[in-house]
Amino acid sequence: MDEPKIAGKSPKIMKMEAGTYYWCACGRSSEQPFCDGSHVDTDIVPEKVVLKEPKTVAWCMCKQSKNKPFCDGSHSKL
């Protein structure tokens, strides 16, 4: 099983509109925190996120969160 790459050691906090997003779970995307297809040669797949209303989101960038795709502070233990 492939391991995700750490894309950052702090969350990416963003104001998001309602909609469907694909969070990069592999850490290889150049469009962090979103998927750009870079996972194609791995067994890791992006996570679909549906936001029903606008909200501020703390996206996990370390890819270690137990609350993926959202930050749970796991980056502080890296």
Q: What's the pLDDT tens digit per position in 54-64?
A: 999 999 999 99
The confidence score (pLDDT) of residue 22 equals: 98
Q: Please, is 63 exposed, middle or buried when counting C-beta atoms within 10 Å of its C-beta (0-12, 13-18, 19+)?
A: buried
For residue 1, pLDDT beyond 90: no
Q: What is the mean pLDDT of residues 30-39?
A: 97
The confidence score (pLDDT) of residue 9 equals: 97
The residues pairing with 58 across neighbouring beta strands, listed in sequence order, are 13
As a whole-number percent, the residues of the chain with pLDDT over 90 amount to 96
- In this prediction, residue 3 has a pLDDT band, given cuts at 50, 70 and 90, of very high
